[in-house]
Every structure is written in structure tokens, then in C-alpha cells.
Amino acid sequence: MAHEVLLPQWSMGMQDGQVTRWLKAPGDPVADGEAIAEVESSKVAGELLADRAGVFLRALVEVGEVVPVRTALCLIGAPGERIDAGAALARDAASTPIAPAPQRPAPSAGNATQVTPRARKLAVEHGIDLTQVRGSGPDGRIVEADIEALLGQVSDGTYSLAQRRGRLAERLLASLHGSAQLTLSRDIDVTDLTDWRARLPFRAGWGDLVGYAVSRVLGGHPPFNGTVEGDRVRIGSQVNLGFAVALEGGLVTPVIHDAGSKSLQNLTELTAELVSRARSGTLRPQDVDGGTFTLSNLGGHGIDAFTPIINPPQIAILGLGRVREVAQRSGEGIAWRQCMTVSLTFDHRIADGVPAAVFLQDLAQFLSRPEGFQSSA
């Protein structure tokens, strides 16, 4: 029986996508894990991989057609297999299959401007002529924010949550409804680490430093490093560290795989590269897949503490506040110390408050003593 290959959801905010190029034609053999198409969403571009071996029977969507996640994109079957006329799997009843499309040329003055799937869908919904829109994305690409800027707000100051936040809003609400979320916060004295950081031969942000510390400490606290789906909990064998990146109209969470094996400088470089890809809309599926723990950093915006929401299906997320001066007693006098507040939100179904407090205690000890970073400098 023909097998449907579905459009996967590669990131928390991914709502839809489009095939930009078919790499297989009807009758071509397909190996398990082989790339069969190039797919693009508003935040991620990558290859669609076959999830079984067989023969490419037919494409079910046309190149450039925007479809929701989990839509069947094509059919894979056995050699010689025919598709029944009554098969509901195929959306197009025409007998002629869709042939592979040539690779799209790079944008130039003579070619049509590229449009992200979300921007195209929003433009269609509101009858906007894309030829009249000036894109603000890379190479003049039209992004969702460009369409929203044209739409603006209606006269009473309201707007559609479904259009503005889409799948991200649904995922956040599902995260809160689907788990027992509890947040613990504590202050960490990072005075010595602040001085050590100033002497580094490369630039490392506080997110990089905390990410490095988390990747070393989290291995000793396995209940917080993993994912939960239904009643099945999978503890990560390594720390795949995600970090939230704010974009127009939402956020995306790139992942540094096996962060515990990376030096601080390597971690810093990988983070910068992934942030750049996220903002240019060139993240690949492997850049956002497989996270076991997430960091959310609002310290650069002057926030001291907040309650981060778990990035499903993960078990925990750590929020980072700003580094600030705090007066503390020192002998008979007062000393000014550099402190940071961190907030751990975790699924109370998986772990209790005391293990979470111990994890934060160990993390605080690591961050308060630069010795743990020495080998990575």
C-alpha cells in the first residue's frame, strides 16, 4: 500500500511550508533516509527525507504550493505498485504525476522576488498583490512582517492572534495545558566570573557562559534533560542545548547538539552562527531538531526574573535575567557584588522541587567559580 510522506514540523513556530524542488520523479528508487525534495518554511529550509525505502510513486503538491504541517507531500510504494483511482491519499485526481521542477534561480532583478510561505498565505488571505510589496528579508525576500506592516491594526486596535502568532500561540498554550509546570528562581553571585570573562581573548555572552555551565552540570541531573511524549519519558544521553531566538512575529529555538563536548569558544561560535541563520531564515531542519533542554535569555532587555514556558516536548527550560549590582554584607561593611537571577521551569510530573533546587544549587556553584571554565578558555 502506498505510504504518505508528510510535511514535518521542524520548529516550534512552524505552521506551514512549501516544496521548492522535487528531487525524485515517478518511478525513481528511493532509499530510507534519502532526500526526495527541498522544503522551505518561514524560518527553516532543508531537505525532506524519505522515511522508508521503495519507489517514488507521485507528488501530491505542486512546487511553491503552501500547505500546513503534517500534509501528505508525496507517495512512496513498492516497485510496480499502482495508485487506485479512489485512493483518498492523492489530493489531485489527475492521472499525470508532477514531474521534478528545476532548481529555482537565485533572486535577481529579472526574477520574481522570493516570498516566505507564511507571507504568501497571509497575502492571499487579505488579497494583497505581492508584486507591490517591498521585501525586507535577505535579497529582498518578502517576509510575514512585511505583510503585517501593510495590514497594520484595525481601527479598534485589535488584530488576529491566529494570524500574528499562529502555531506558536497554539504550542505555548498546549505546553501549559499538557504539563504541570513549576518555576524555581535563585540568585547567583557571578562577580568572579564577570572579572574572568573580561579577560577572555574572545567575546562570550552571558548566554554562552550559562549554556556552557548547563551543559556540564545537567549530566548530573538527568530528570531535567530529556523529552516527554504522552506517558513516555526519554532522558537524553547527551545535552542538546536549545536557545530561544526572537524573530518578527515569534521565535525559533536552534539547538547545539552534544553541547557538553564543546569548548566555550566553540559554543560561542556555534551560537552566533545559528542566530545568524535564524535571522536570515536559513536554518536547516537539523539546526532545530532534537533539543533536550532550552535557555531563554531576557537579561539583555533589563529583565531580572521571569517565568519561562517549557518548549514541548522537553522537560525543562532555564530563564536568564540580567547581571546587576547587589549590596552584600562583607565583614563589618558592605561590598557590591555582581548577581544574576536564573529561573528553572520544569514539568512537576517528571521531577520534584528538591531535585530542581539541587540542580540550581550546582549550577550556581559552577557559575560562581571560574575554575570550571579554565580548560575551555
pLDDT in the model for residue 112? 53
Residue 271: pLDDT above 90? yes
SS (H, E, C) the chain: CCEEEECCCCCCCCCEEEEEEECCCCCCEECCCCEEEEEECCCEEEEEECCCCEEEEEECCCCCCEEECCCEEEEEECCCCCCCCCCCCCCCCCCCCCCCCCCCCCCCCCCCCCECHHHHHHHHHCCCCHHHCCCCCHHHCECHHHHHHHHCCCCCCCCCHHHHCHHHHHHHHHHHHHCCEEEEEEEEECHHHHHHHHCCCCCCCHHHHHHHHHHHHHHHCHHHCEEEECCEEEECCCCCEEECEEECCEEECCEECCHHHCCHHHHHHHHHHHHHHHHHCCECHHHHCCCCEEEEECHHHCCCCCCCCCCCCECEEEEEEEEEEEEEEECCEEEEEEEEEEEEEEECCCCCHHHHHHHHHHHHHHHHCHHHHHHHC
pLDDT average, residue stretch 14-28: 88
pLDDT in the model for residue 327? 93
pLDDT in the model for residue 281? 76
Decide if 257 is catalytic. Answer: no
pLDDT in the model for residue 304? 96
Decide if 348 is catalytic. Answer: yes
**Tens of pLDDT, residues 284-320:** 888 988 999 999 999 999 999 999 999 999 999 999 9
Residue 270: pLDDT above 80? yes
pLDDT in the model for residue 92? 45
pLDDT average, residue stretch 98-127: 56
Of residues 172, 168, 246, 248, the one with CA closest to residue 207:
246
List the catalytic residue out of 32, 84, 195, 348.
348
Residue 351: pLDDT above 50? yes
Residue 108: pLDDT above 70? no
pLDDT in the model for residue 19? 92
pTM above 0.75, yes or no: no
pLDDT in the model for residue 154? 46
Domains of the chain: residue spans and CATH: 3-77 (2.40.50.100), 105-154 (4.10.320.10), 169-376 (3.30.559.10)
pLDDT average, residue stretch 22-43: 89
pLDDT in the model for residue 249? 61
List the catalytic residue out of 92, 189, 352, 362.
352
pLDDT in the model for residue 160? 59
The span from the CA of 120 to the CA of 76, in Å, is 29
pLDDT average, residue stretch 230-245: 94
* Band (96; pLDDT cuts 50, 70, 90): very low
